Structure formats: C-alpha cells, structure tokens
Amino acid sequence: MLCQECGKNKANVHLTKIVNNQKTEIYLCQDCAQKKGEFSFAEDPLSLHNFLTGFLGGEYPQQETPEGGLVGVSDCPNCGLSYSEFREKGRLGCARCFENFEEQLTPLIKRIHGREEHRGKLPARTGGLIRKKREIEKKRQEMEKAVREENFEEAARIRDEIKKLEKELEG
C-alpha cells in the first residue's frame, strides 16, 4: 500500500485516530508521518532508554523544583548530571551518579528487578558453592523469623541445619 499523503512511498505507519467517536485511519510513509508531527523515528521505541524513561515517569514523593529537579537532590558532583536530565535521558552520567541519586534510584531498581540487589544466574556445574551460601543465608533468615515468633524449637532445628551446611561448605 502506498502512502496516502504523498502517494509515492510505501506506507509503513498505520495511524488510527478517534475524535468525538469518529474513527479515522490513515496509512503514511515514515517521512510523511514525521512531517505531520505524529511520530519521531529518531530513536527505537523499544530501546532500553525508552523503557527506563517510562519507569521514571511515575509519581515521586519528592517535591520538584521549578527547574525540573528535585528538592534536596543535588547534581552529580563528578559529572554534573542533574536528576531531571537522568529522567529525560534514562542514562546515568558516571558511576558516582548512582551514589548521588541512590535514594531515587533504589525504588526504580526494585520496581524493575523485584529486589534491590543483583542476584544473577548461577552456572549449573560450578554454582554449588554459591548455592550453599545462599541456602545458609535463607536458613538464617528463617531462624531469625522463628526466634521473633518465639518458636525456639524450630529455630534450634534450623540452627542445626545451618551448622550441617557450614560443615559441608568447609569440607
């Protein structure tokens, strides 16, 4: 199908508008769509930048300044990136940006990954040591929960499992 605007190029944009319950469909080439101001094809719409920027568009408990920054959030002392620039670009300027914007980034990271710390994947053959350490950590958390709930018999049972796992780790 040819572009309905210029009639020359192949139409690769299908635009559907509904205004006052009136549906209008138009098929445009990329150039005509840009000229009409309907789309910007400068970036890939599925890029990581756009994905992260979408997460940054949510509501924040911090109050914004008239310049678009956040009250109490200073620019990065190393590269000078402001938080509003980060929200616009979806990219940090340097490693120190994370330290500077940590309070604002932590909820974002938790929303994207489901947790604040990086866990990564383990190789099937060589991940045994790390799996044991994770299991011990999980058991410690279970033991602390049992102690908080004053379920001391369960806590003692879990403590013994931890000792067994630690001996296996050493041997």
Angle ∠(25,50,94) on CA atoms, nearest 5: 165
Selected residue with higher pLDDT from 18 and 43: 18
- Measured CA distances, 22 to 5, 39, 58, 66 (Å): 20, 21, 31, 39
Q: How confident is the model at residue 61 (pLDDT cuts 50, 70, 90)?
A: very low
- The whole-model pTM stands at 0.34
pLDDT, position 111:
76
Burial class (CB in 10 A: 0-12, 13-18, 19+), 10: exposed
Q: Is residue 62 predicted with pLDDT exceeding 50?
A: no
**CA pseudo-torsion sign 153, 155, 159, 161:** positive
Q: Is residue 142 predicted with pLDDT exceeding 60?
A: yes
Distance (Å, rounded) from C-alpha 51 to C-alpha 170? 44
What mean pLDDT comes out for the span 72-76?
A: 70
End-to-end CA distance of the chain: 71
Q: Is residue 73 predicted with pLDDT exceeding 50?
A: yes
Q: Is residue 60 predicted with pLDDT exceeding 50?
A: no
DSSP 8-state code for residue 78: T
What residue segments make up the domains of the chain, in order of their start?
1-42, 48-113, 128-170
Selected residue with higher pLDDT from 74 and 93: 93
pLDDT, position 42:
52
pLDDT, position 63:
45
Task: State the chain's mean pLDDT as an integer.
Answer: 76
Q: Are strands 22-28 and 13-19 parallel, antiparallel or unpaired?
A: antiparallel
pLDDT, position 49:
53
